[in-house]
Structure 1
Amino acid sequence: MELRHLRYFVAVVEEQSFTKAAERLFIAQPPLSRQIQNLESELGISLFERGSRPLKTTQAGHFFYQHAVKILANAEEVKSMTKRIGMVERTVTMGFVGSLLYGLLSRIVYLYRQQQPHLKIELVEMTTMEQVKALKEGRIDVGFGRLRISDPALKRMLLREERLVLGTHASHPLSAHKEGVYLADVVDEKLFLYPNHTTPSFATQVQGLFAEYNLEPQHVRIVREIQLALGLVAAGEGVCIVPESARSIQLAHLNYIPILDESAVTPIFLTMRNMDESEDIMSLFDCIYQVYDLEAIRYDRNSF
């Protein structure tokens, strides 16, 4: 049991509703319900009277709520006093590749800001290769990217692997394949990839994926960025392979189709300097755990 579980429980009790509590916590309702169920399983009791409207606690739940409020208040007091004793403004600078903002990175950073209000957090968009140089020069503290770049001065951790999808125009024949397509179905299509600056990049990563299946796309055009690639697809100019989180980019006549090949994934890495185990970086990892828990994403905490 962690403090965040107590925060979730207290919010549900005080709002008397999972929906309102989820809004207060800035999370979706299903993950919140799942976390409360996990808490009840750990305690071996029911904390809420199921079916009650508005939501009511059981006798045990009321007892747990009273003590949870005290524990959270004490924790905040200790946290506040400790900060005042050693208050020195610190900055954490994060490098990131632009496509990650369509996924969970924005939620992780927002949560990090809420939980570490004393920190000045700066975000700098840069390629993975630029992140490597910036880390070694001390210009950023962590980097989020998609490429497997090895350097003896840096530590790279795989956060998760994200499925790839195919962006198509609604009128394109492949759009009829709602269940998904294979890379072999795409080799003869006019294919847009991105970005067109520096290599290796996401574009070379996708081309390498085709090569893994002994395939070679015949009509590849590499453009500046993901928005341009999907805009051209929405105009009926061709198709584009993007991470699944790019589904949040909604354009008229733009469809997203799953890619069914087993290896059709793109990794998400966090990179940091080898010996950097500061409290601020460890707090960032904790925010990543929290968001992944709420989204029921599997991860190996020992690998972080």
Structure 2
Amino acid sequence: MPERLDYIVAIVEEQNITRAARRLFITQPALTKYINKLEEEYGIILFDRKSSPITLTEAGKVFLEEKTRIEIAEQNLRHRLEALKNGSVTITVGIGHDRAPRWIPKLLQEFCRRYPDINLMIKGAGELSLPDKLRSGEIDAAFGVFESNEENVEWRYLTVEKLSLVVPLAFGIFPEDFLPEESVDRPYILKPEQLNGLDYISPAITMGAYDSYQALRQLYSINVGRQITTTSARSIRTMIIHGLGYGYGFIGSASDLQDENGVFRAGCCILPGLPTRRFTRAAYHSDHIHVDLLRELTDMLEQQIINADSPSKIYWKNYQNDDRLFV
């Protein structure tokens, strides 16, 4: 029976077979029949259909993880063989989902101008997964927030980004004389107990910001109310502005604290001991067959960052406060 990972992924994301079938443009009985046959073929139960919402069983998690890995490996093999057949070179870049639309278009314009015969593949990814993708050969270069300790990996810093806890004004924790527009550079110093019971917008485990969230939970025993998890830093900011919870991330300017009508809806805060900066990096294998191309690609991105005018991202070589990562 042909395996359709998109069927399984749709059920996982929708947490409901009827909604998943609607999304896939098939009938609910057809989707149920497919899952039944797949479970019968492998002799396992993929989904706990007695729970609401529907969730993957432990066997289902392993199945999806391994089948996804195999499918990616097959795609990479096909791309590499196709490149060899055509005598062409393909460079695959892995980059965080939120960073890709800001960095990639201008970067590729310059790279494609210099190298019109080289193919490029851009893979948006959760930033914490980038080292594994680089190690496996799924990508040739990685750009984002991650660590890499491998000996044969050549890496460099790209930017330093400001980090804050961003809290809706509607939560009522700020004093009467608090000015949101000034909090970007002078964040309000919180007491941990002020956050108890408040709803939280959490970054997904694959995001670079997840480490900051972990630090928050480990340093302070804060009772979180409702928790909303998302894979998008932009979504975190938007939900905070709309009062759905507080969250951790970078705020570039006062306008990031305003709603669509220009009204301030949130302020920047810090808790002692939590990181106030994070670094973005570029990494690639130093023994890669096209390492010179990867270095030049990174040089182009570095120059693009230097020329950009963005208060939220400081070119790392211009950063003079290396010892002030924590307050």
Task: Tell whether 2:286 aligns with 1:271.
Answer: no
Q: Deviations over 1:33-55 (max 9, x none)?
A: xxxxxxxxxxxxxxxxxxxxxxx
Aligned with 2:182: secondary structure?
A: coil
Aligned pairs (5 A) from 1:153-172: 153-169=152-168, 171-172=170-171
Aligned to 1:33: none
Change (3 A) 1:286 1:158: closer
Task: Tell whether 2:127 aligns with 1:128.
Answer: yes
Change (3 A) 1:184 1:107: farther
Contact kept in structure 2, 1:102 and 1:248, CA below 8 Å = no
Alpha-carbon distance in structure 1 between the residues aligned to 2:167 and 2:258:
12
Q: Deviations over 1:119-150 (max 9, x none)?
A: 22211012234322222222211011212242
Aligned with 1:244: secondary structure?
A: coil
Paired letter, 1:267: F
Q: CA deviation at 1:216?
A: 4.3
Aligned with 2:116: secondary structure?
A: coil
Change (3 A) 1:286 1:248: farther
Alpha-carbon distance in structure 2 between the residues aligned to 1:202 and 1:120:
31
**Of 283, 307, 314, the match for 1:294:** 307
Alpha-carbon distance in structure 2 between the residues aligned to 1:183 and 1:278:
45
Aligned pairs (5 A) from 1:242-261: 242-244=249-251, 252=260, 255=265, 257-259=267-269
Change (3 A) 1:170 1:120: farther
Aligned pairs (5 A) from 1:1-304: 89-101=88-100, 103-169=102-168, 171-173=170-172, 174=174, 176-180=179-183, 181-182=187-188, 184=190, 188=195, 189-195=198-204, 197-198=205-206, 201-208=208-215, 214-219=219-224, 221=227, 223-226=229-232, 227-244=234-251, 252=260, 255=265, 257-259=267-269, 263-276=275-288, 278-295=291-308, 297-300=314-317
Paired letter, 1:224: T
Contact kept in structure 1, 2:168 and 2:243, CA below 8 Å = yes
Q: Deviations over 1:206-264 (max 9, x none)?
A: 332675xx444431735032244334324322122222359779854675644567941
Alpha-carbon distance in structure 1 between the residues aligned to 2:87 and 2:114:
17
Q: Deviations over 1:27-76 (max 9, x none)?
A: xxxxxxxxxxxxxxxxxxxxxxxxxxxxxxxxxxxxxxxxxxxxxxxxxx
In the superposition, the TM-score normalised over structure 1's length comes to 0.55
Superposition CA RMSD, Å? 3.7
Alpha-carbon distance in structure 1 between the residues aligned to 2:211 and 2:296:
33
Change (3 A) 1:133 1:234: same
Contact kept in structure 2, 1:164 and 1:266, CA below 8 Å = yes
Change (3 A) 1:207 1:103: farther
Aligned with 1:223: secondary structure?
A: strand
Alpha-carbon distance in structure 2 between the residues aligned to 1:140 and 1:249:
35
Alpha-carbon distance in structure 2 between the residues aligned to 1:300 and 1:150:
21
Aligned with 1:155: secondary structure?
A: strand
Change (3 A) 1:259 1:210: farther
Contact kept in structure 2, 1:209 and 1:263, CA below 8 Å = no
Contact kept in structure 2, 1:157 and 1:269, CA below 8 Å = yes
Q: CA deviation at 1:163?
A: 0.7
Aligned with 1:207: secondary structure?
A: helix
Change (3 A) 1:128 1:232: closer
Aligned with 2:302: secondary structure?
A: helix
Q: Percent identity?
A: 13
In the superposition, the TM-score normalised over structure 2's length comes to 0.52
Aligned with 1:271: secondary structure?
A: strand
Contact kept in structure 1, 2:166 and 2:268, CA below 8 Å = no
Alpha-carbon distance in structure 1 between the residues aligned to 2:257 and 2:103:
14
After TM superposition, the structure 1 stretch with the greater mean CA deviation from structure 2, 117-126 or 259-268, is: 259-268
- Counting matched residue pairs gives 211
Show structure 2 runs of 5+ residues with no match.
Answer: 1-85, 319-327
Change (3 A) 1:115 1:268: same
Aligned with 2:146: secondary structure?
A: coil
Show structure 1 runs of 5+ residues with no match.
Answer: 1-86
